[in-house]
Amino acid sequence: MSKTFYERNLVKEWNLIMANKVTVLGSLNVDTTLRVPRMPLPGETLSTENKSSAAGGKGANQAVAAARAGAETRFIGKVGNDDAGRFMVESLQNDGIDTSAIVTDQTVGTGSAFILLDEAGQNSILVYGGSNQQIEEKEVLADEDDIANEDFLITQFETPQAAALTAFKVAKKHGVTTILNPAPAAEISPELLTYTDLVVPNETESADLTGIEVTDVASMDANAKKFREMGVKNLIITVGSKGAYYATEKASGFVPAFKVKAVDTTAAGDTFIGALSSQLKPDLSNIETALVFAQRASSLTVQGLGAMPSIPTYDQVIEASK
């Protein structure tokens, strides 16, 4: 991507955008990363080169990305009554995220994830849902007054879809724009899609949901048409190192990714969504500008190790764009 074409005049626009108010309903996991020379074959034992732990979870990563990019961010979630849970809450608070809607489960432990990271920067992830899977609809409804004041509500599939549907219904009741990241890929509630303003899958997730393989722009257009038939008018498909496709009611296009050397792709997609929500207008009228910002933020994330530790701040994105 040419910085001259895409960014020279965009930094000023990013600086002028007022802080969005974003609530994330999502997962809180303690991530343990194991560095390996390559992914093990079935039945094979490999020695790890390094082991590290950090705060993570798709929901937490997206919230941190939004907060570091300048959004006023709140979190709805659940942790266990354990050290891991207290660590996750403190980690969000350290980034200025409002954690008042995080509930402590007295019977189930905090979620966790185990990440295998190879020398090429690719990863495989195993997730234990834990307390993330215990979020109840009544806990979402208890937060209605705060949701009503937001610009965006974001959720993913590491927490129950029933809670997501309740949250989206509340959001739409109050005119809040809803963003669904259907990851990890799962069978989706048709009703949830009808309350979704913007769906943001990667190419694999999009194909799983529509039945249309993503190979080129024409197939992405076909995916957008299918999503409209399913009730979602606006779509972004992230295509890894290639970039991101978007389709709204008014326009469609493809924004190329920035070319960088990836060290660790963990949280790249989460950074993209969080950063996007910090810049996007609720009516999506500046979607291409916001996409460029999100792509730049994601390109910085993949150049660092770990999920949350590698998520950039607003100033870092701006500096990289000069």
Q: Which residues are annotated as a binding site for substrate?
A: 29-31, 57-61, 158, 270
Q: What are phi and psi of 239, to 5 degrees?
A: -125, 55
Q: How far apart are CA 57 and CA 112, in angstroms?
A: 8
Q: State how beta strands 177-180 and 252-256 pair.
A: unpaired
Q: How far apart, in whole angstroms, are the C-alpha atoms of residue 24 and residue 99?
A: 10
Which is catalytic among the residues 197, 221, 270, 315?
Answer: 270
Q: Residue 165, by phi and psi: left (phi above 0), alpha (psi -120 to 50) or beta?
A: alpha
CA 160-305-88 angle, 5° bins: 40
* Binding annotation: 29-31, 57-61, 158, 202, 238-243, 264, 266, 269-270, 301, 304, 306, 310
Q: Which helix (H) or strand (E) holds 193?
A: helix 190-194
Whether 315 is catalytic is: no
Closest C-alpha to 278, from 5, 23, 3: 23
Strand partners, 253: 246
Of the candidates 164, 166, 109, the one whose C-alpha atom is nearest the C-alpha of residue 132 is 109
Express the helix, strand and coil content of the chain in percent, nearest 5 each: 40, 25, 35
Q: Which of 113, 70, 107, 67 is nearest to 91 (CA)?
A: 67
Binding-site residues for ATP: 202, 238-243, 269-270
Q: State the maximum Cα–Cα separation within the chain, in Å, rounded to a whole number.
A: 55
3-class DSSP state for residue 114? strand
Please identify every residue annotated as catalytic: 270
